[in-house]
Amino acid sequence: MSLATRPKPQLDNWNRAFWEACGRGELTLQRCKATGKCFFPPAPVSPFTGRPEWEWITASGRGELWSYVVFHQNYFAGMKDELPYPVVMVKLDEGPFLLTNLDGMSAADAKIGMRLAVRFPGGPEGFSLPQFGPEGAAA
């Protein structure tokens, strides 16, 4: 598997801070100032109030495996050599869901509800893609 051949994230005004934090090995989320709830993906307004009153926080980087599917067909350029590969939905401890991949484990080892932690093993063109592996295991 080579993260360097993965599709490159498309930067915009709202997600740039997220990707820059990933490059530093940090998982960040936006938090609504009125409700205290975190949200993802990055957006110009809080989905809870519809107002642009939010702040960036450093997330714990921990969560649970909510769901997953194993891709057997090549949907994305640069990922053909990884087939078959799992695509997972992680429910972060802060509340939001993150669609990502596994690192340091196979789909056969994935169990719904298992605890996961973020890792930043690399990515395309200088990006670091957040991946998740077993909580407490060495990255």
Dihedral angle, C-alpha 41, 43, 45, 50, nearest 10 °: -50
Pairing of strands 62-71, 54-58: unpaired
Please write the tens of the pLDDT for every residue from 82-100: 899 999 999 999 999 999 9
One-letter amino acid at 42 equals P
For residue 132, the model assigns a pLDDT of: 98
Question: What are the residue boundaries of the structural domains of the chain, listed by start?
Answer: 3-134
Read off the pTM.
Answer: 0.93
Task: Give the DSSP H or E segment for 32.
Answer: strand 28-32
Residue 58: Cβ-neighbour burial (10 angstroms; 0-12, 13-18, 19+):
exposed
Length in residues, the chain: 139
Please write the tens of the pLDDT for every residue from 37-48: 999 999 999 999
- CA proximity to 119, closest of 135, 96, 107: 135
Task: Answer whether residue 1 shows pLDDT above 60.
Answer: no
For residue 93, the model assigns a pLDDT of: 98
